[in-house]
Amino acid sequence: MRLKNRLAIVTGGSSGIGRAIALALSNEGAHVIVADIDESPRRGKYHEKSTTTPTVDEISKSGGQGTFMQCDMSDENSIRKLVDKTVKKHNRVDILVNNAGICFNRNSQETTTEDFDNLVDINLRGVFLATKYAVPHIKKSETGRIINIASVHAFHGGGGPAYAASKAGVVNLTKDTALELAPHGGTVNAICPGYIETAIQDELTEQDIKDSIEKTPLPRLGLPKDIGLAALFLASDDAEWITGISLIVDGGMLAPLPVV
Ligand SMILES: NC(=O)c1ccc[n+]([C@@H]2O[C@H](COP(=O)([O-])OP(=O)(O)OC[C@H]3O[C@@H](n4cnc5c(N)ncnc54)[C@H](O)[C@@H]3O)[C@@H](O)[C@H]2O)c1
């Protein structure tokens, strides 16, 4: 049990990637706070069509420990309460996984100011606020970890002005927080997934999905567990000297020279 006695908060832990991360961490002994706006898993038109069991029930079935806490990552008060309630009950936070996110890919003319603000509030401001409130507790942990879920879209155009910019922001925020936590022995890293089989892909067309598989050197979509296992590694003692990085987990999608 690599994470025995550790307390992890996973935002957006009800569905998709967050759910796989919550399961991977709890399988190794962490008590996982599944923080989400909704306890029911999202069901997509392509993926996760029949996933209905709440993550904490899945954790219990595998003999792990988990608690659901409702939280809206666009609401500062809600995020503060999530951390306060966690610390009141468990007296610690060792691992924070900032995973909750939404996605749409519209250009500057199609994106309303309200759409932009809402996405950035969840995908970037929410990461900052959860970090802000959790850091004082993570500093006290001997094995403090923050893992931020960004995206391959952080590095290139084509992801829309809201989504791609929010993820680029997360990559930089990761490096900055890494410097803040390092004197306290904690690490802060990002994971940049390629295209993963979750309900967030409802935004895509079937052709987009086909194209993404064709452009992936290891030609398949990623599975949520591909990211869950990467997060487990970064959370474990094996990764104690890794900080400030963005680990790309994309089947090689970003490997070729873009002009080829
Ligand atoms: N699936 C992919 O292809 C892919 C690729 C790159 C990055 N990502 C990133 O991975 C993360 C997880 O995405 P996913 O694919 O699992 O999507 P998903 O839609 O399956 O899951 C997202 C979860 O976040 C929760 N959530 C949404 N808004 C919230 C809010 N305001 N407060 C709290 N919870 C909220 C949802 O309820 C859901 O449980 C996101 O940050 C996403 O941008 C996904």
CA dihedral 239→244→249→255, nearest 10 degrees, is -120
Residue extents of the structural domains in the chain: 7-249
Could you read off the pLDDT of 45-86 as tens digits, one per residue? 999 999 999 999 999 999 999 999 999 999 999 999 999 999
Residue 16 in contact with ligand 1 by CB distance below 6 A: yes
Q: Does domain 7-249 have CATH number 3.40.50.620?
A: no
How far, in Å, from the CA of 217 to the mean position of ligand 1?
24
Residue 51 in contact with ligand 1 by CB distance below 6 A: no
How far, in Å, from the CA of 232 to the mean position of ligand 1?
18
How far, in Å, from the CA of 16 to the mean position of ligand 1?
7
pLDDT category of residue 152 using cuts at 50, 70 and 90: very high
Could you read off the pLDDT of 238-254 as tens digits, one per residue? 999 999 999 999 999 99
Residue 195 in contact with ligand 1 by CB distance below 6 A: yes
How far, in Å, from the CA of 36 to the mean position of ligand 1?
10
Number of CB atoms found within 10 A of residue 22's CB: 32
Could you read off the pLDDT of 172-205 as tens digits, one per residue? 999 999 999 999 999 999 999 999 999 999 999 9
Most distant CA atoms of the chain, gap in Å: 54
Identify the pLDDT of residue 257: 85
- What's the predicted TM-score (pTM) here? 0.98
Laid out side by side, the sheet with 7-11 consists of 65-70, 31-36, 7-11, 95-98, 145-149, 187-193, 246-249
**Proportion of the chain above pLDDT 90, given as a percent:** 97
Could you read off the pLDDT of 21-44 as tens digits, one per residue? 999 999 999 999 999 999 999 999
On the question of pLDDT at 260 being above 70, the answer is no
Listed in sequence order, the residues at least 6 apart from 245 whose beta carbon sits closer than 8 Å to its beta carbon are 174, 189, 190
On the question of pLDDT at 121 being above 90, the answer is yes
Shortest-distance atom of ligand 1 to CA 195: 3
Residue 193 in contact with ligand 1 by CB distance below 6 A: yes
Residue 38 in contact with ligand 1 by CB distance below 6 A: yes
- Ligand 1: residue of 170, 196, 202 to mutate (most ligand atoms within 8 A of CB) is 196
Task: Give yes or no: 46 in active site.
Answer: no
218: Cα separation from own chain's centroid: 22
